[in-house]
Structure 1
């Protein structure tokens, strides 16, 4: 089984980058690849609940995050430093994620057969 790690770095809205990454993750998982996700930098903002994507002219894809379990995407990491920089607490997040230090994120990247950055 191929291990794929997808890293999200960009803030919500304004581009379709994150949506493309999520679509790729779900597609990869449906073909029985082991997918792990990493949210860092401004991408941790995607994890906040009650976003109103339509006001920014985007489609709501954040609700898709709740389908990660159905696709057996078990490893979802959020960068601890990014959360702290943006003043976000773990209990404020819309989905259950693992808060990870840089060392753990580096280990996840090293363990993957393929790493994609969105």
Structure 2
């Protein structure tokens, strides 16, 4: 069985890559359970709760990350070094991602 990894490395709302990546991830989850999701670099901002994308005229897709359980996506990691670099070590995220040290 092949495994597929999705890597989120850009901040949300600056481009469509986060939203499109999430759409692709959810669609792929219907085809396989061998999925891994990684949030690195500015991609850690994708999981921040309490974002207000309407203030920059962007669509609020961040809440869709909460559907991971519904789609049986449970292999989710977030880069601990990226969190430290951005001062986000003690922040709540919209999904329960395991911290991964490089």
TM > 0.5: yes
Deviation at 1:100, TM superposition (A): 0.3
Moved over 3 A (4+): none
1 CA distance for matches of 2:90 and 2:43? 14
Higher helix share: 1
Gaps of 5+ in 2: none
TM-score, structure 2 length as denominator?
Answer: 0.92
Greater relative contact order, per chain length (Cα 8 Å cut-off, separation 6+): 1
Cα distance change of structure 1 residues 2 and 35 upon mapping to structure 2, 3 Å threshold? same
Q: What RMSD in Å do the two structures reach over aligned CA positions? A: 1.3
Number of residue equivalences: 102
Gaps of 5+ in 1: 103-118
Is residue 12 of structure 1 aligned with residue 3 of structure 2? no
2 CA distance for matches of 1:4 and 1:90? 29
Residue 55 (structure 1) aligns with: 55
1 CA distance for matches of 2:35 and 2:23? 12
